[in-house]
Amino acid sequence: MATKNIAGVDVNVNEEGYLTDHSQWNREIGEAIAKEEGIELTGQHWKVLEFLQNEVKTNGALPTIRRLTKSGVVDTKTLYQLFPDGPMKKASKIAGLEKPASCV
Amino acid sequence: MKRVLILGAGTAGTIMANRLNRKLGRKEWTITIVDQHPKHYYQPGFLFIPFEMYTAADVTRNKTDFLPKNVEYVQEGIDVIEPNHNRVKLQNGKSIEYHILIIATGTNIVPGEVEGLLDSGWGENAFDFYTVEGSVALAKRLKDWKGGKMVVHIAEMPIKCPVAPLEFTFLADWYFSKKGIRDDVEIKYVTPLSGAFTKPRASGVLNHLLENKQVNLVPDFNIMHVDGTAKKLVSFDEKEVDYDILVSIPTNMGDSVIERSGMGDELNFVPTHKHTLQSKAHENIFVLGDATDLPSSKAGSVAHFEAEILTGNVLYFIQNKPLKEDFDGHANCFIESGFGKGFLIDFNYDVEPVEGRFPLPIIGPMSLLKESRMNHFGKLAFKWIYWNVLLRGWPIPMITAQMTELGKKL
C-alpha cells in the first residue's frame, strides 16, 4: 500500500489511486481527486457522491448504476455527463470509496 | 408431513430435488417442485445452435425425466411468494405451504430493458442466443449471410455464463472462416467492462485471443439505446457502433415472481448469504443458482457446487444446528475457442482464473487458462455429464464443491 499527499493530507491509496481508508477522506480531498480526473465538482456531482457514501455506510457496498438512477438522484444520461468514461469508477474514487467490483 | 418446496425445475432446482430426495427422511418430509415449463434445456448447448453444431432437439428434454418419482412435480406458474405465511400462491389460484423454501427461479434475459432493442429488427437483424428461439432464429439468419458487420454486444453485467459471449465470438470467427467468408465479416465485441472478461488474468489472455482472431474489442461501452432503423448502438457518452447483424446479450434479471413478492434487489435477484446460501431476509428460505445476488458466476457449475453445500445446510437447519459457511464461489467453465479447441477456467470468490492443470495437478488432462484440444473434448463430453451425472445430483469425479488450489499457478 502506498501513501499519497492529496490536498495537503497524507492518505493511504491502492495502486489505482483509490483511498483504502474512507475515514481519511474529506471534501478537499474529493475536490483534488476530481481535478486529477479532469472534473470540476458542482452541486449535482456532490449529490451523486453523497448518495454513494450513504449507500456504502448503510449497505456496506456501492450501489449499481441502476440503483443510483432508480433512486431519483440523477438520470443515467446526466450521470455520464457528470462523470464521463465510467461514472461509477470515477465517482467512487472521488468519494473516497473502493473501486466498484465488476460482477462475474 | 412437512414440506420442502423448490421453486424452479431448471439446473439448480433439479439437482437439489435429486439430492434432497436421497437425504431427507421421507416419512417426515414431502419434496415438492414447481415450474411452469415442461421442457428442460441444456443451456450450454444454445451457443452451438447458431453455428449448426447442435439443433434444438439436441438440447431439449422433458423436465420430468430428471426428477425422482417420489418428488411431487407441479407444472404451474408461480404468482407470489408470501414468506410471512410460509406459503406460495400459484397462478391457478392454489396455494402450497412450506416449512423450507428453496428459490431456484433463475435469471432471464429482458430485451425490453435495452431501449430500442425490441423496436425494429428484433428477430431480423438483432438476435439473442440465450433462448432456444433466439438461437434457432440466429442460425437461420447466419446460414445464408454473405458477410458484413457483426456486433456481439453485452448490455450490462451481471449476465448468465459470462464467458458465453466470448465463446460465441470465437465460434463465429471459426464458422465464417470455414464458410470462406471470414474476410467479408467484421466482428466487434462491445462490452461495458474494461476488457474481455471480469477477472484480470483471464481477461488479458482472452483480450489477446480476440486480437489474434481479428475481433475488434470495444470496451467501456455503456448502451443508451439501440437504433434499429439506422442499425447502430449508441452509448451514454455518445459513442456509436454500426452493425448489420446484432447479437445482443440483453440485461439479465431474476424472475418477475421475485419482484411481485418484494424479495429482490433492483434486478430481481434475492439477497443471499454468500457462504451459507440462506436468504438474508428469512431463515427458512434458501436461494440457489442464478436467482441469488451473489458475486459468483451465474452458471450451471456454480449451481452444482452450491447444491452440495446447500444440501448439508438444509439438513443442519432441520436439526437446529448452525449452518456451514462453506460456499466459496467456486465456478468451473469451459471456454470454446473455435477450430476444435477450448479453454478451461476454475476460480472462486477470492482466487481468479490462473494457469495450471485440472482436475489433477501436473497430469490434468485438462489445462487451465490455456488453449487445448482436450478442453474442447471436455466441453463436448460435458453434455453427457450434464444429463446423466450433474442433473441427477451426483458429484463429478475428482471435482469438489470447494475450489482446490492444487495444480494451479497462483
Q: Are residues B92 and B164 in the same domain?
A: no
Q: Which residues are CB-neighbours of B255 under 8 A, at least 6 positions away?
A: B8, B78, B105, B106, B107, B108, B268, B291
Interface touch B157/A103, C-beta < 8 Å:
yes
Contact indicator for B347, B179 with CB cutoff of 8 Å: no
DSSP conformational letter for B387: I
pLDDT (0 to 100) of residue B410: 84
Q: Are residues B84 and B96 in the same domain?
A: yes
Q: Tell whether the torsion through CA atoms of B358, B309, B268 and B67 is positive or negative.
A: positive
* Integer Cα distance of B351 and B357 in angstroms: 15
Q: Which residues in B72-97 are b (16+ Cβ under 10 Å) and which e?
A: ebbeeebbbbebeebebbbeeeeebe
Write out pLDDT tens, residues B94-109: 999 999 999 999 999 9
* Integer Cα distance of B45 and A81 in angstroms: 41
**Annotation says A91 is catalytic:** no
Global confidence as pTM: 0.91
Q: Which of residues 159-188 of B touch A (CB under 8 A)?
A: 162
Q: Is B226 helix (H, G, I), strand (E, B) or coil?
A: strand
Residues above pLDDT 90, as percent of chain A: 68
Domain boundary among B201, B219, B251: B251
Q: Which residue of B has its CA nearest to A84?
A: B237
Q: Are residues B233 and B273 in the same domain?
A: no
C-alpha cell at A76: 443515467
Q: Largest Cα–Cα distance of chain B, in whole Å?
A: 66
In-domain check, residue B401: no
Q: Are residues B40 and B79 in the same domain?
A: yes
Q: Are residues B283 and B356 in the same domain?
A: no
Of B172, B228, B162, nearest in space to B195 by CA = B162
Q: Are residues B156 and B221 in the same domain?
A: yes
How many CB atoms are closer than 10 A to CB B232? 17
Interface touch A104/B266, C-beta < 8 Å:
no
Domain ranges of chain A: 2-94
pLDDT (0 to 100) of residue B238: 86
pLDDT (0 to 100) of residue A102: 58
Q: Are residues B127 and B211 in the same domain?
A: yes
Give me the interface pTM, i.e. the ipTM: 0.70
Q: Are residues B126 and B244 in the same domain?
A: yes
Contact indicator for B138, B247 with CB cutoff of 8 Å: yes
Q: Are residues B240 and B265 in the same domain?
A: no
Catalytic residue from among A1, A101, A103, A104: A103
In-domain check, residue B361: yes
Q: Are residues B295 and B365 in the same domain?
A: no
DSSP conformational letter for B401: S
In-domain check, residue B202: yes
* Integer Cα distance of B29 and B11 in angstroms: 22
The pairing of beta strand B341-347 with beta strand B223-227: unpaired
Identify all chain B residues contacting A101, using CB atoms and an 8 Å cutoff: 295
The domain spanning residue B271 has which CATH number? 3.50.50.60
Identity of the residue in A67, A85, A103 whose CB atom sits nearest the CB atom of B295: A103
In-domain check, residue B325: no
Q: Are residues B116 and B235 in the same domain?
A: yes
Q: Are residues B152 and B192 in the same domain?
A: yes
Domain count, chain B: 3
Nearest CA distance, A77 vs chain B (angstrom)? 6
In-domain check, residue B407: no
Residue B295 contacts A where some CB pair is shorter than 8 Å:
yes
Identify all chain A residues contacting B222, using CB atoms and an 8 Å cutoff: 65, 80
pLDDT (0 to 100) of residue B84: 97
Of B250, B255, B287, B251, nearest in space to B271 by CA = B287
Domain that holds residue B308: 2-106+255-318
Q: What is the pLDDT averaged over residues A91-103?
A: 86
Residue B350 contacts A where some CB pair is shorter than 8 Å:
no
In-domain check, residue B408: no
10-residue mean pLDDT profile of chain B (410 residues): values are 97 98 94 98 97 97 97 98 98 98 98 94 96 98 97 96 96 98 98 87 93 95 94 92 98 98 96 98 98 96 97 98 97 95 94 92 91 93 94 91 91
Q: Which residues are CB-neighbours of A11 under 8 A, at least 6 positions away?
A: A3, A4, A5, A19, A21, A24, A25, A29
In-domain check, residue B62: yes
pLDDT (0 to 100) of residue B263: 98
Interface touch B296/A104, C-beta < 8 Å:
yes
Q: Which residues are CB-neighbours of B257 under 8 A, at least 6 positions away?
A: B7, B78, B79, B80, B81, B105
Give the amino acid at B363.
I
